A and B are shown apart, each in its own frame.
Chain A
């Protein structure tokens, strides 16, 4: 299904999304970060052991290789913590990284959601709330782990293609919609997500809806935990007519493709803010300010 056209352009979609989320990845070309294979690390370990044992522990000789400078802090600030040359380099790296991230930050303030949604933040969790004719609707998402991972070949292609361009990172969190009616005992809860092949950012064709419902269930109002004893409707094997009615139900409450797109933008912005905050905190911790 849908393959007549989609199969012809599917490759283009993958290539176009290849550059995503490499901007803040640690530099792949950095040799110290290239994880060594066991084949290269083992001989080195063994030669150290041989060096040590051949001299013998009782000879009184201590290899200088073992007297690490790490144990002798080179900088002291009186905080009681460890300060090394590595920490200094780390701090400098973070200063540059924060500067870069602040530079690419589109806006200091978060983008507004259209449709009268009110935003509440609790750490990395965001909650959008509104009331429609007596019904309460809330949409909750967490920005942690909301950036889809890339495939290796995509990153390679992206690097070749994009050159110096800053790739764009998009946060696509799963989100939970809770609809509460005054007269109803339980809330109707929708577990939604952004299907992965929608990450093409407008380039090429793809075959998924912008967002999709994964599960639907009745849950006690406001409960943070998903009650496993409540019947949960999985949309994988659902009658599609019922699925469409559920999507129309959400659209009537302002949760449609436009909403999903704005949510993606908001989540991306929150994620970036939190990332910068984390870097600053990390910098403070490393430098011990």
Chain B
């Protein structure tokens, strides 16, 4: 299956082929090509709803991850028993939220979506940032992923997490 991409919003004009290619590159870097990932692009209204429903945070955000597997340990890939468990889970991208940030910071939308997706995939693999230690561990992983991504594509992307942040 690979990457299942859904665009459920009409606020942001997305380049689907570019987004898929970037997500595929990230999967390749992490060695999780055999796992499926769902990428769902939504607007502020929708991501706020989801954020409120699942995290009791009633505001829009850039990314929300829903891992398929439970009891994940950061850095350890899930060990699926069946074919349909070859699934990391779903990442909801708040593309409208990300676009507004990009406009404020004059950043390329699809570069930003790559950074945000890298953050989301880390969550699908069990990384968290609720404590200082977790944050350091996740930041290291994001740094690695994006440095590899930059090496492969010639871009200059930086991790999403600048400080210990519990909001995502």
Contacts and interface: CB of A to CB of B under 8 A. Distances in A.
Interface of A: 1-2, 4-6, 9, 202, 205-210, 240-241, 244-245, 247-248, 251, 256-258, 261
Contact of A2 (B2, B17, B40): B40
A235 B65 CA distance: 28
B1 interface: yes
B25 interface: no
A141 B8 CA distance: 22
Contacts of A206: 8
A1 B87 contact: yes
A241 B87 CA distance: 19
A209 B20 CA distance: 15
A198 to B, nearest CB: 8
For chain B, the bracket of interface size reads: 20 to 34
Contacts of B5: 240, 244
B1 to A, nearest CB: 6
A247 B50 CA distance: 26
Report the 10 A-B pairs with minimum CB-CB distance, sorted nearest first.
A244-B16, A257-B10, A4-B66, A2-B38, A244-B17, A258-B10, A1-B4, A5-B66, A245-B17, A4-B89
B90 interface: yes
B15 A248 contact: yes
Interface in B45-98: 45-46, 49-50, 53-54, 66-68, 87, 89-90, 92
Interface in B1-55: 1-10, 13, 15-17, 19-21, 36, 38, 40, 45-46, 49-50, 53-54
B163 to A, nearest CB: 28
A5 B90 contact: yes
B6 A209 contact: yes
B24 to A, nearest CB: 8
B17 A241 contact: yes
B10 A2 contact: no
A95 to B, nearest CB: 40
22 contacts: A1-B1, A1-B36, A1-B38, A2-B40, A2-B90, A4-B38, A4-B90, A5-B66, A5-B90, A6-B90, A9-B53, A205-B50, A206-B8, A209-B6, A209-B8, A240-B2, A240-B3, A240-B4, A244-B5, A244-B17, A248-B15, A256-B13
Secondary structure at the A interface, as helix, strand, loop or mixed, is: helix
A207 B46 CA distance: 12
Given A207-B6, A244-B16, A247-B16, 7 more contacts: A1-B90, A2-B6, A5-B50, A210-B8, A244-B19, A257-B7, A261-B10
B68 to A, nearest CB: 5
Contacts of A9: 53
A1 B90 CA distance: 8
A202 B66 CA distance: 21
Given A2-B90, A210-B8, A241 B20 contact: yes
Interface in B107-146: none
Contacts of A4: 38, 66-68, 89-90
